[in-house]
Structure 1
Amino acid sequence: MNTILNDAQALAFIQAQAFKVNQQVYEARFPDWDYGRLVFVDTSGPAWSPGVLTYTSDLTGAAKWQSGFAKDIPLADVGQAMQQSAFHLAAIGYQYNIEEVNTVYQVGGTLSSRRARAAKLAYTKFMWDLAIQGSTEKGKAGLINNAAVTPVAATNDGTGSARHWIANDGTVTKTAAQILRDVNQALTGINVATNTLEYADTILLPTEAFNLIASTPFNSLGADTILSWLLKTNVYTLATGRQLTIRAVPFLRTASTQTVVGGGRMVAYKNDENYVKLNLPMPHQFLPVYQDGPLNWQVPGIFRTGGLDFQTTATFYYLDGILPAP
């Protein structure tokens, strides 16, 4: 005769099952929201630290030709600033009920990993959203909406003086050369802002803009799309010999605030930990199983993050209006 597991038996069974499930889930990869490709992720911790203090410095001064009789020697100096970023706790876990546990125990097999996978996906999506658009609740900016970056309106030399690359009805309103010019404007804008020290190495585009350049021939020869030509001839690649990263981000469809409010925004930036990073002192982890009711067992999951830290905004460039408002 079949019997129902008592609380102690059920807990021991779920603990063993959860260990295997959690191990499998953390071995799986979820590339759809791979925020680690867009920004350096700092997991150096400590996990329970209240936050992090970041010190930034700037060197000033220049050597000059000098007379041996001079009394006013040019001096170098170092300016230093400090910014503080607090870390915050967030959580997502999963659960099993008495019916699931006893069925698997008596029939054989393993508890489903679907809820654990759903929890891991929810965490990954949370961190992706935080990296891209920040959190108004915690006062954190994302890659696409830092208020300290001054947006620039795209040049209005398209069809009918359009700033956008493609109209809402699908009509292409800028030539391939004009689109390439807009992208290079963002790349060189960062080079100018950093006194020719850096170029942007990453471009984020609204999905519609990305699809346009990925599917439209660059010229009548048809050997290249605008995207493939851009990847070969952009100023960053020509100057450094390195590959430019171009990614589609849906949030950018209505991110424009300059001139074309609610239109599309292009984001260009240098993906370098010295300029921007995502603080994640405690990556997501599942805690021990506990019984939270007469028929239910939970597996809590927690993580701690401080969102993005911008060491400088000089390595960011927002070009607004590359899509019209919807």
Structure 2
Amino acid sequence: MKHANIDFNDAQQVATGFLMPAYYNVEATVYQTKYQAFDYARYLPVITEGSEWARGVLFRSSDIAGKAEFLSGKGFDMPYADVSRDQHLKGFELAGIGYEWSLEEVQTAALEGRQLGNEKAMAARKVAEKRLWDIALTGATEKNWTGLINDGNVPAADVAANGTGSATFWATKTPDQILADINSAITGIYTETKGTEIADTLLLPSGVMDLLSSTRLTDTGMTTLAFLRQNNAYTARTGQPLLITEMFELNTADPGGDGRAVVYARSPDVLRFHLPMPHKFLPPFQKSSMTWEVAGIMRTGGTEIRLPKAVRYMDGLIDNS
């Protein structure tokens, strides 16, 4: 029996000719898909400006010093104002997650007249978004980065120990005591910054979100959460709604693992997530005789809290013992 000769190089050329248009169809489909579970842009201003390949971002901060005093008539004792300046550099880093296609997968799809499946591309995209989500929230230990919920420069303290048995846990407190804890944190930012910043966002552990939405204020007929949305220090001062949302990562975020809430001003002047290069796929290249790789790359500088005094951590909210 005589076997036909198989031109392996021709098979590769056919595969390559099929692969490129298939890749662009897959890429377009993947970037139409949204991953709401990793929506870090909801909590942080995402900065994508500037060059994708910049080493980082340089910014300067300044403060004024001096005091006007009474003078003698001759003016030899004139006080002077001065300005202090600080320079800060936030570096960017390259990260990546991609996928690959084998010759068998490509040839089979071409033979059957169908597009290559987008499952691998969607998986890579979702893994990339999950990584950016984790960096935004808690940083990256290998880069010595912290995130939105664990920055060491942010003021952090247990809430008042006035619950049952002098506990801090909100499950042991009355709705009025819980509301006092929250408004104290909002007012604390306003007072500490002398009115220049006011918190407009409250992130809660999922456990206490359930508590507030199910506990009723008996004299109002409203749940604690509904009452808080209408009556809080931010809304009272601005007339604008306070953003209140939950985050599972906060259930064990405080140093003792007892739950943390975050109150902050959601403004790029206060904090930001650097993403000069959102995740993107590079064109496929043949990395072996039977495999094509699609590299996926991104560059980020993580979360930067520029004004830590405009952020507060409230700890000791949940008994996780």
Using the alignment, how far apart are the partners of 2:204 and 2:14 within structure 1?
53
Contact 2:12-2:103 at 8 Å conserved across structures: no
CA 1:83–1:103: 2 relative to 1, 3 Å: same
Q: Which residue of 2 aligns with 1:113?
A: 118
For residues 259-312 of structure 1, give each alpha carbon's deviation from its aligned partner in whole angstroms, at most 9, with x where no partner exists: xx2211111111111111111111111001012233322111000111112212
Structure 2: gaps of 5 or more residues: none
Q: What SS class does the counterpart of residue 146 from structure 1 fall into? A: coil
Q: Report the alpha carbon displacement of residue 69 of structure 1 after superposing the two structures with TM.
A: 4.2
- 2:257 maps to which residue? 262
Cα distance in 2 for residues equivalent to 1:143 and 1:248: 14
Aligned residues: 316
Residues 109 and 220 (structure 1), Cα distance of their counterparts in 2 relative to 1, 3 Å cut? farther
Would you say 1:185 and 2:184 are equivalent positions?
yes
1:233 to 211, 231, 234: 231
Confirm or deny that 1:280 pairs with 2:278: no
Deviation at 1:12, TM superposition (A): 2.3
Maintained 8 Å contact 1:267/1:317: yes
Aligned counterparts of 1:22 and 1:143: Cα–Cα separation in 2: 31
The normalised TM-score by structure 2 is 0.92
SS of structure 2 residue aligned to 1:322: coil
CA contact (8 A) 1:276 1:309 kept: yes
More helix by share: 2
1:292 lines up with 2:287 in the alignment: yes
* 3-state secondary structure, aligned to 1:208: helix
TM-score (norm 1): 0.91
Give the conservation status (yes or no) of the 8 Å contact 2:254–2:260. Answer: yes
Shift of residue 45 of structure 1? Answer: 2.4
Match of 2:195 in 1: 196
CA distance in 2, matches of 1:263, 1:147: 17
Whole-angstrom distance in 2 between the partners of 1:234 and 1:60:
34
1:111 to partner: Cα distance:
1.0
Percent identical: 39
Alpha carbons 1:89, 1:304 under 8 Å: kept: yes
- Residue 54 (structure 2) aligns with: 49
Which residue in 2 is equivalent to 1:305?
300
The SS at the match of 1:6 is helix
The one-letter code matched in structure 1 to 2:261 is: M
* Contact 2:155/2:311 (<8 A) preserved: no
User: What displacement does 1:62 show?
Assistant: 4.4
Q: Secondary structure at the match of 2:309?
A: coil
SS at match of 1:314: helix
The structure-2 alpha-carbon separation of the partners of 1:211 and 1:57, relative to structure 1 and needing over 3 Å to count, comes to same
Aligned to 1:271: 266
